[in-house]
Amino acid sequence: MIERTVVEIVTRGRAFHDLTPAAATLARDHGGTGLLHAFVRHTSASLLITENADPTVRDDLERFMARLVPDGDALFRHDAEGPDDMPAHVRSVLTATAISLPIAEGRLLLGTWQGLYLWEHRLGRHRRQVVLTVLT
């Protein structure tokens, strides 16, 4: 059996958005044992599983990525939408646009300190779609 929903998130710039509640609700409503697949439908945002208890972990990830892929780097020629355009694409490629999570008895099998996040890589406001699919 397959169930699918699209979660829409309006971002306010570069930040993390917790998708764990939406994914957990879909898993619970579907019940059973299987797999939840998450896919972001954009090339300048990504998905990740990371620490969900201490927000400084996400702050540190952002600082690390800013050092690794700085906005406005002269290396990049693709800047049609501003100095964060190509860096956002690189950030997306270095992380993930799809993640699968196991489900047992209607519960996501995330670890104690894990959460599922959308990571917005652009500086401005965007409307993002994440497709959540449950397969049992």
Residue 50 has a CB neighbour count (10 Å cut-off) of 14
Domain count, the chain: 1
The pLDDT, as a whole number, for residue 42 is 97
User: What CATH number did the domain enclosing 65 receive?
Assistant: 2.60.120.460
Distance of alpha carbon 117 from its chain centroid, rounded? 4
The pLDDT, as a whole number, for residue 64 is 98
> What is the token pair recorded at 134?
């449950």
The C-alpha atoms of residue 101 and residue 93 are separated, in whole angstroms, by: 20
The pLDDT, as a whole number, for residue 112 is 96
- The parent domain of residue 73 ranges over 2-135
Mean pLDDT of residues grouped by 10 in the chain (136 residues)? 95 97 96 96 98 96 98 95 97 97 97 98 98 96
